């Protein structure tokens, strides 16, 4: 009897969404609320946070080497490292958010779109060849509006009550003759 209860508890633990311990190894700088939040909350917090970190590093490179010199030689290495680092550091929150949203195809799709938008924004931190300082500064703040819009939509989906599927009509049974 005790063994059966243990197996039932173990099976339920596997079936339920990943608890906060799935985020134990998440860097507190990208997800300060990981201790009390969900994977979705952590991921939604990490997207603008990590983008800001890499944007600030690129800004430092631009201050040091100028807009045109920020990518020459090894001058862009700090930003490249930042992007690589945060691609790895956001993996756990992203996977936890996908697991927690697995019951909603729309939520999963929106999380994937946010992740793709984040990756594209990081790639666009490099100044264009003929870009002015002012246009660069304006361009690199644009992703925040996109992130916020997507985050609001995802939060609305994750806070909406689950919809019940329409009840199927009872199946008609054939009477057996015999």
Whether 147 maps to a domain, the answer reads yes
Q: Residue 92 domain-assigned? A: yes
- Is 96 inside a domain boundary? yes
DSSP run (H or E) holding 18: none
Domain limits for position 117: 21-159
Residue 76 and residue 69: Cα distance in Å, rounded? 9
Does residue 68 fall inside a structural domain? yes
In a domain, 141, yes or no: yes
Any alpha helices (H) in the chain, and if so which ranges?
2-15, 39-69, 77-89, 91-100, 105-123, 133-139, 142-159
The number of angstroms, rounded, from the C-alpha of 145 to the middle of its chain's C-alpha atoms is: 16
Average the pLDDT over 7-16 and give the result.
Answer: 41
d(CA 151, CA 48): 10
Give the pLDDT confidence of 151-162 residue by residue, as tens digits.
999 999 887 665
Each residue's pLDDT tens digit, 51-91: 999 999 999 999 999 998 988 889 899 999 999 999 999 99
94 domain-assigned:
yes
- Does residue 8 form part of some domain? no
Domain count, the chain: 1
Q: With respect to residue 9, please indicate whether it lies within any of the assigned structural domains.
A: no
Confidence band (pLDDT; 50, 70, 90) for 112? very high
């Amino acid at each position: 009897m005790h063994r059966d209860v243990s197996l039932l508890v173990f099976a339920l633990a596997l079936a339920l969404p990943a608890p906060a311990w799935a985020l134990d190894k998440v860097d507190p700088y990208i997800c300060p609320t990981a201790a009390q939040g969900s994977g979705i909350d952590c991921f939604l917090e990490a997207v603008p946070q990590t983008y800001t970190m890499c944007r600030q590093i690129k800004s430092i490179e631009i201050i040091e080497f100028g807009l045109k010199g920020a990518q020459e030689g090894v001058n862009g290495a700090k930003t490249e490292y930042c992007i690589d680092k945060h691609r790895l550091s956001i993996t756990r929150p992203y996977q936890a958010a996908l697991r927690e949203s697995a019951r909603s195809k729309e939520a999963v799709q929106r999380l994937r779109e946010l992740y793709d938008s984040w990756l594209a924004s990081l790639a666009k931190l490099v100044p264009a060849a003929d870009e002015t300082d002012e246009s660069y500064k304006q361009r690199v703040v644009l992703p925040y509006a996109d992130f916020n819009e997507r985050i609001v939509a995802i939060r609305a989906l994750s806070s909406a009550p689950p919809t019940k599927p329409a009840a199927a009509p009872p199946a008609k049974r054939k009477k057996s003759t015999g």
